[in-house]
Amino acid sequence: MKKIKIEIIPVIHMVNQEQVFRNIEICISCGIDKVFLINHEVTTSDILSTALKAKKIFPEMWVGINMLGMKTTDALSIDEPLIDGLWCDASISIKDVVDRNFKGMFFGGLAFKYQKQPKDLKLACIEATLTTDVATTSGPGTAKPAAIEKIKIIRDHLGDHPMAIASGVSVDNIESYIGLADYLLVASSITDDNEFIIEEKLKELKNKIK
C-alpha cells in the first residue's frame, strides 16, 4: 500500500462573500492551499457564484463546493472548469458516473453521517473506488469523530484509493488518522461562532501532522 500523506482541507460554512474571502486569506496565511465551501445558510447558486469569484481573486487556491440541497446527480452534471472539487454526502451508483460532467475531484459519500448506511461495507468501498475520486466518510454526526476502527476497516477495503474524513477532526484525535486518511475536512474545531476560521487553531492542527 502506498505511503499516505495527510492533508487538511478547511470547510468554510458560507455566510456571505466577504466572510468566505477573509477565511481563504486566513487559510493562505497558514500555508493551506485547499478549501471547501458549504451552504448551510445560503443557496446553491450563492455558493457556486462565490466559489467562481474566489477562484478569480485567489487563483492559486484549490476551491471545492458542497451544495447542500442539490441531488448528487444534479451536482455531477455541473460543467464548470474553475471549480476544483465537488463534495456530496450521498453515495452514487456506477450508472450515475456515466452521466458525470464535472471534471474536478469528486469527494463522494461512503458510510456518511445522516445517510443510509451500507449493509455491506466492503462492497460499498469497492463501489466507491469506481464512483469517486476521494471516498469520503464521517463520524456518526456533526463534530463527532469517526471511530478509528471504522477508518481502519475502510482503508483496508479501499486499498490505495484516496479517502477523506469529514467530521469531528480536532487536535485531540488528528494524529490517530495519520497514515489512514488522505484528506481531513475540518470545520467545527477551527471556527468561531461567526463562522470565521481561528488562525491559531488551524496552525495548531496543521502542526500536529508535520
Please tell me the predicted confidence (pLDDT) of residue 154: 98
Confidence band (pLDDT; 50, 70, 90) for 143? Answer: confident
Alpha carbon of 193 to those of 5, 60, 98, 142, 183: distances in Å? 31, 28, 41, 15, 24
Structural domains of the chain sorted by starting position, each given as residue range(s) with its CATH number in brackets: 7-207 (3.20.20.60)
Confidence band (pLDDT; 50, 70, 90) for 4? Answer: confident
Please tell me the predicted confidence (pLDDT) of residue 94: 85
Confidence band (pLDDT; 50, 70, 90) for 1? Answer: low
Confidence band (pLDDT; 50, 70, 90) for 132? Answer: very high
Q: How much is the mean pLDDT over the chain? A: 94
Question: Under 8 Å CB-to-CB from 198, ≥6 apart: which residues?
Answer: 190, 191, 192
Q: How far is C-alpha 136 from the geometric centre of its chain's CA atoms?
A: 7
pLDDT at 175 over 80: yes
How confident is the model over 135-160, as a mean pLDDT?
94
Rounded CA separation 136/32 (Å) = 20
How confident is the model over 179-189, as a mean pLDDT?
96
Cell numbers linked to 188:
467545527
Lowest mean pLDDT among 36-40, 97-101, 114-118, 188-192: 97-101
